[in-house]
Amino acid sequence: MSLEKTEAVVLKTFNWSESSRTVIFFSRRFGKIALVDKGGRSLKSKRGRIVGFAVLELTFYSSQKESSGYIRDVDPLETWSFEKEGTVGRLAYGSAACELLHLLLPEEEPQVALYDYFVSYLKCVEAADKRSLPALFLAFFLRCLSHLGYHPSLTHCTGCGQQAGSFAATRPQEYLQFYPERGGVVCSSCQTAADQYIRLSSAGFEQLVTLQSASLTEAAAIPITFADTELLLEALTRFVSCQTGVSGELKSLEFLRKLKKTKLS
């Protein structure tokens, strides 16, 4: 076994005994990796604690003969508590980003640019006004998709290639139709009655287009309601399911949705 060291953020944990578990990390050097945490759940463990929403210096044993390596030690380098106003929302949008990466990242393929962007996103979730969180997450979602090669077509009709801006401008009061199975928006000439589309208003469409290329700082300044966020997330999660074959439903956001309905958040 070789001893390796890298920065990493926890994406998910799976407990399989009273003292041990498997931890899925997004690491800077190795991409998504699954490591066995022997005895890590025990209060008697002498090494550093594994915590969520933190950049960790991770030291582990890597094995080519076994499917998972073993954690040797962890040392927190930077942590985010999400204790500002809107803690529940910050936790939900932070967790949703971890869920999304766990779903979409390939195993053991370095994604340095995406890793750095993910860390920047968590920093923004910690510091931003709570009203900026939906737009920040949508921007992260879109950047994550594009980085991994799943780029939704928002600038041109996926059927005929007509510029979306042109057919949106000719009928500004109408809805644009987003068709996840084809990978983007579809003009009226290319629509068929049997297909199930997601209707985006002109304003919602413009928000999605803007967020697709916005920096995190720019995204934080884009006002967007929770209702509009839900519709745009429906479009993106269906797009993920159709284009990748994995469910794009995010449990963290479903929890937040339930809180919104009960007015507890």
What would the pLDDT profile of 84-115 be if each residue is shown by its tens digit? 998 999 999 999 999 999 999 999 999 999 99
Could you tell me what percent of the chain has a pLDDT over 90? 52
CA distance 67 to 144: 26
Write down the pLDDT at residue 248. Answer: 66
Q: Which of 136, 139, 117 is nearest to 127 (CA)?
A: 136
Q: What's the full length of the chain, in residues?
A: 265
Among 57-66, 171-180, 189-198, which is the least confidently predicted range?
Answer: 171-180
The pTM of the full predicted model, rounded to 2 decimals, is 0.89
What are 105-141's pLDDT values in tens digits?
A: 999 999 999 999 999 999 999 999 999 999 999 999 9
Q: Which two tokens stand for residue 36?
A: 């066995």
- Between helix 226-244 and helix 251-262 the angle, nearest 10°, is 160
Q: Is the pLDDT of residue 264 over 50?
A: no
Domains and CATH numbers, the chain: 1-79 (2.40.50.140), 86-265 (1.20.1440.120)
**What pLDDT score was predicted for residue 193?**
82
The mean pLDDT value of the chain amounts to 87
Around 182, how many Cα atoms within 13 Å sit in the side-chain half-sphere? 22
Tokens describing residue 68: 């998972």
Q: Which of 49, 67, 66 is nearest to 58 (CA)?
A: 49
Asked if 11 and 96 touch (Cβ cutoff 8 Å), the reply is no
